[in-house]
Amino acid sequence: MDKMVSTDFGGPEEHISQEVWSQLRSMLQTELGEKKFQIWLQNLYVVSASDSEVELGCPTAFNRDYVNQNFGAVILRVLREINPGVRTVVFTFAPRPHLSIDNSAHVLPREAQAPVDASIAERLGPGSIPPNPSCTFRDFVVGKSNHIAYTAAMKAAEQVVAAQKPQFTPLFLYSGSGLGKTHLMNAVVWHVLRNSASARVLYITAESFMRRFITAMKERETLAFKDEMRNVDLLLVDDLQFIADKNATQEEFFYRFNELADQGKHVILSADRSPAQIDGVGDRIRARLLHGVTLEINATDIELRLAILERKIERFQAQYPGVVIGDDVRRFVAGRIASNIRELEGAIHKLMYIADTTQQPMTLDTARRELADVINHNERRLSVDEIKRTTANFYGIRIADMDGPRRTRTLVRPRQTAMYIAKSLTSRSYPEIGKRFGGRDHTTVMHAVRQVERHSAADPVYHEEVQSLIRLLKDGAPSQGNDPNGTSKT
Partner DNA sequence: CTGTTTTATCCACAAATCG
Partner DNA sequence: CGATTTGTGGATAAAACAG
Nearer to DNA, 98 or 407 (CB): 407
- Rounded to 5 degrees, φ, ψ at 443 are -70, -25
The 396-435 contact track toward DNA, x by CB under 7 A, reads ---------xxxxxx-x--xx------------xxxx-x-
Cβ-based neighbours of 115, under 8 Å, separated by 6 or more: none
Would you call 91 helix, strand, or coil by DSSP? strand
Segment lying near DNA (by CB under 7 A), choices 242-250, 307-315, 469-477, 478-486? 242-250
Q: CA distances (Å), 399 to each of 392, 418, 463, in order?
A: 6, 11, 22
Radius of gyration of the chain from Cα atoms?
Answer: 26
Whole-angstrom distance, CA of residue 226 vs CA of residue 385: 39
Contact 259, 225 (CB under 8 A): no
Nearer to DNA, 407 or 489 (CB): 407
Nearer to DNA, 91 or 253 (CB): 253
Can residue 448 be called a binding residue for DNA (CB under 7 A)? yes
Whole-angstrom distance, CA of residue 54 vs CA of residue 75: 10
Whole-angstrom distance, CA of residue 361 vs CA of residue 380: 33
Among 112, 163, 248, 287, binds DNA (CB under 7 A): 248
The 191-210 contact track toward DNA, x by CB under 7 A, reads ----------------x--x
The torsion angle over the Cα atoms of residues 435, 436, 437 and 441, rounded to 10 degrees, is -20
How many Cβ atoms sit within 10 Å of the Cβ of residue 246? 17
Can residue 462 be called a binding residue for DNA (CB under 7 A)? no
**Sheet with 53-58: strands ordered across:** 45-49, 53-58, 88-93
Can residue 447 be called a binding residue for DNA (CB under 7 A)? yes
Q: Between residue 211 and residue 230, which ones bind DNA under the rule CB under 7 A?
A: 211, 214, 218
Nearer to DNA, 312 or 436 (CB): 436
Count of positions on this chain that bind DNA (CB under 7 A): 35
The 90-129 contact track toward DNA, x by CB under 7 A, reads ----------------------------------------
Among 451, 476, 484, 486, binds DNA (CB under 7 A): 451
Given the rule CB under 7 A, which residues bind DNA? 207, 210-211, 214, 218, 245-249, 405-410, 412, 415-416, 429-432, 434, 438-444, 446-448, 451
